[in-house]
Amino acid sequence: MELGVASFACYKQELVNLLPLFAQFDVRYMELWTFSSFANPLHFEYKDEEYLENFLALLLKYNLRASSIHAPIDSEADISSPDPALREQAIEETIKSIDALAKLGGRILVVHPGGKSVDREKQLRIASRSLQIVESYCQRLNIRLTLENMLPGYVGSKVEDLEYLLSSLSPRAAICLDTGHGFLNGNLFELMRTLGGRICHLHIQDTHASSDEHLLPFQGEIDWEEFMIKLTQIHYKGIFMTEIREAKNNSLEAILAGARCTFEKLTSFSARLSGKKFQE
């Protein structure tokens, strides 16, 4: 298992200027944050062809890999929206992010399967149709679609939501498990137990019960030893992708160093666990 850090750690800054820092801290795998209403629009210019060519050259220069990309997030335009115009906009922007990922050689697309739940059953049906369109496009470019488990009150927060959405997709479609979202929903370990075979990507973050904080592991309330036990049990082989929030008192350097430190601590525990199991 390899460490990755999502560019959510610096979403207010221009990512292209920060790639040397990722290399400095020996973080080779990155998840690219595309667009949200609260991010710097110049953070990662995923629709600019010339920008992408230059970005790829820098990735190669610093021996970095854009292994995954997060589809754009908008409070109104989401793929489960009953409004056809907003839904089409969300699908169109998602497809543009797929194109960007393919140009950079990445393989995993992370999608929010829905917005705030108003009419859950209707939104799930709409999201299912939208995801089929998105996955069809992914398949042309050998990109793997993953659905992120959502925050409480959102479509995609419940185990049964994700089971329903996966049922209409190919067996290759998978889950991106956000540890903080699962903790806040009270279903983190249930998700791992029920959908463990479909989890191919992680958003590692810690939090307290009050809000979605995106902290480094051990800074919140998640039981990380139990998490690593469950992760070992499902034979997870993907990237250990941390998704830590940029903050005034949490510089990118501190996030990268902290991600490396906690990754080594958690994988050391996992190795001891595997060794014990082998001896038994």
Dihedral of CA atoms 196, 104, 131, 195 in degrees, nearest 10, equals 0
pLDDT value, residue 80: 95
Q: Is the pLDDT of residue 230 over 90?
A: yes
Q: Is the pLDDT of residue 111 over 70?
A: yes
At residue 204, φ and ψ (nearest 5 deg) are -85, 120
135-160 pLDDT, tens digit each: 999 999 999 999 999 999 999 999 99
pLDDT band at 36 (very low <50, low <70, confident <90, very high): confident
Question: Could you please report the per-residue DSSP string of 187-221?
Answer: -HHHHHHHHGGGEEEEEB-B--TTS---BPTTSSS
pLDDT band at 38 (very low <50, low <70, confident <90, very high): confident
Q: Is the pLDDT of residue 278 over 60?
A: no
Two tokens, residue 62: 């610093």
Instruction: Give the closest residue to 241 by CA, choosing from 219, 259, 264.
Output: 259
Which comes out higher in pLDDT, residue 92 or 39? Answer: 92
Distance of CA 155 to the CA centre of its chain: 16
At residue 69, φ and ψ (nearest 5 deg) are -140, 145
In degrees, rounded to 5, the angle at the alpha carbon of residue 18 between the alpha carbons of residues 14 and 20 is 155
| Distance between CA atoms of residues 81 and 88, nearest Å | 9
Question: Could you please report the per-residue DSSP string of 122-191?
Answer: HHHHHHHHHHHHHHHHHHHTT-EEEEEPPPTTBTT-SHHHHHHHHHTS-TT-EEEEEHHHHHHHT-HHHH
Contact of 262 with 216, CB cutoff 8 Å: yes
Which amino acid type is present at position 82?
A: P
pLDDT value, residue 280: 41
CATH code: domain of residue 260: 3.20.20.150
- State the Rg of the chain over Cα: 18
Q: What is the total count of domains within the chain?
A: 1
Which comes out higher in pLDDT, residue 98 or 247? Answer: 98
Q: Is the dihedral of CA 267, 269, 271, 274 positive or negative?
A: negative
Q: Is the pLDDT of residue 276 over 80?
A: no
Mean pLDDT of the region 85-108: 97
Q: How far is CA 40 from CA 13, 59, 112, 277, in A?
A: 6, 20, 20, 47
Q: Is the pLDDT of residue 40 over 90?
A: no
Contact of 213 with 180, CB cutoff 8 Å: yes
The helix (run of H) or strand (run of E) holding residue 69 is: strand 65-70
pLDDT band at 247 (very low <50, low <70, confident <90, very high): confident
Contact of 258 with 216, CB cutoff 8 Å: yes
pLDDT value, residue 86: 94
Two tokens, residue 78: 């989401």
Contact of 149 with 177, CB cutoff 8 Å: yes
pLDDT value, residue 75: 74
Domain residues for the domain of 76 are: 3-279
Mean pLDDT of the region 229-238: 94
pLDDT band at 272 (very low <50, low <70, confident <90, very high): confident
pLDDT value, residue 273: 66
| Average pLDDT over the chain, rounded to an integer | 94
Provide CB contacts within 8 A for 51, sequence distance 6+.
Answer: 16, 45
Conformation bin of residue 210: beta by default, left when phi > 0, alpha when psi is -120 to 50:
alpha
Contact of 259 with 5, CB cutoff 8 Å: yes
pLDDT value, residue 274: 62
Instruction: Give the closest residue to 61 by CA, choosing from 31, 30, 20.
Output: 20
122-131 pLDDT, tens digit each: 999 999 999 9
Two tokens, residue 275: 């060794």
pLDDT band at 60 (very low <50, low <70, confident <90, very high): very high
Mean pLDDT of the region 193-210: 96
| Distance between CA atoms of residues 170 and 259, nearest Å | 33
Q: Is the pLDDT of residue 37 over 80?
A: no
